[in-house]
Homo-oligomer: A and B are copies of this chain.
Amino acid sequence: MQRIEHRACFGGWQEVYRHRSDTLGCEMNVGIYLPPQVTVQSCPVLYWLSDLTCSEQNAMTKAGFQRYAAEHGVIVVTPDTSPRGAGVADAEGYDIGLGAGFYINATQPPWAEHYRMHDYIAQELPAMIEAHFPATDARSISGHSMGGHGALVIALRAPGRYRSVSAFAPIAAPTQVPWGQKIFRAYLGDDEASWRAWDACALLANASERLPLLIDQGDADEFLATQLRPDLLQAACVATDHPLTLRLQPGYDHSYYFIASFIAEHMAWHAAALVRPSDRASGWIGTG
């Protein structure tokens, strides 16, 4: 891993690394915020998945999570949103190809060769973080829009892997909205039954773990009714008796101003799950 950014931030370090991904078959950038606590103990990790068109930079520069990560002693990892580089397939449109990996494993040409963002986020990246940084194996996951979909799906597919999950304005029912249908048909093919393995609402029906979901959604979000559909996720949670906190925030849109306004509460939600009394007791210093 090659460190390409290293900036002091809230007593810790906001860094960016460049590394080879075997899963994706390309070089990737990944942002890592190391809170001040890493100088004396290993810390748990929150994975943040970003939206269409984003890179590892957007959340680092705009979400304002570092203050709270430093307070709680949580590492925050902000990966890119698709494979990148020469030879990686792309297509016309901001909502397919580069910047639009959708956190799934593609099965169709030309996407299948590199577009395996699910396995990168769920497996390769945590293994790398836990091997190369002072990180424990306590993990949580969150994200925005396409990344909110990614966080929900990745957590629901792997019971026990994440201690907590949350999302901002997630694409909550991708098989039932235009963004998801376009991507799933391209990346997964015409067999719509195969799409259900990547749809949070469908996965809830078979969830073996009752991991509570925290979702914030702005009611002035221009994509709410057409692309996001938290109402369908709410119905799926009701049908399966799955714990959900869904908060409709009046006046908020789809931007990082919305995320920044509520990131403190999501960080506290994850910290409550990640930083347990037993973890604190094992640290070198008292952090309670």
CB–CB A8/B64 < 8 A: no
Other-chain contact of A261, B10, B249, B252, B255 (Cβ < 8 Å): B10
CA–CA, A260 to B10, complex, Å?
8
CA–CA, A253 to B253, complex, Å?
32
Q: What's the least CB distance linking A195 to chain B, in Å?
A: 33
Chain B residue at minimal CB-CB distance from A249? B8
Query: CB-CB contacts of A39-76 with B at 8 A, as 1s and 0s?
Result: 00000000000000000000001101011000000000
CA–CA, A11 to B249, complex, Å?
10
CB–CB A9/B61 < 8 A: no
Chain B residue at minimal CB-CB distance from A255? B7
Instruction: Determine how many copies of this chain the complex contains.
Output: 2
A148 at the interface (CB under 8 A from B): no
Query: CB-CB contacts of A245-263 with B at 8 A, as 1s and 0s?
Result: 0000111110111101100
List A residues 239-277 near B (Cβ within 8 Å): 249-253, 255-258, 260-261
CA–CA, A10 to B261, complex, Å?
5
CB–CB A260/B64 < 8 A: yes
CB–CB A11/B261 < 8 A: yes
CA–CA, A190 to B7, complex, Å?
39
CB–CB A7/B61 < 8 A: no
Chain B residue at minimal CB-CB distance from A262? B10
CA–CA, A257 to B66, complex, Å?
9
CB–CB A251/B10 < 8 A: no
CB–CB B61/A61 < 8 A: yes
A220 at the interface (CB under 8 A from B): yes
CB–CB A7/B253 < 8 A: yes
A218 at the interface (CB under 8 A from B): yes
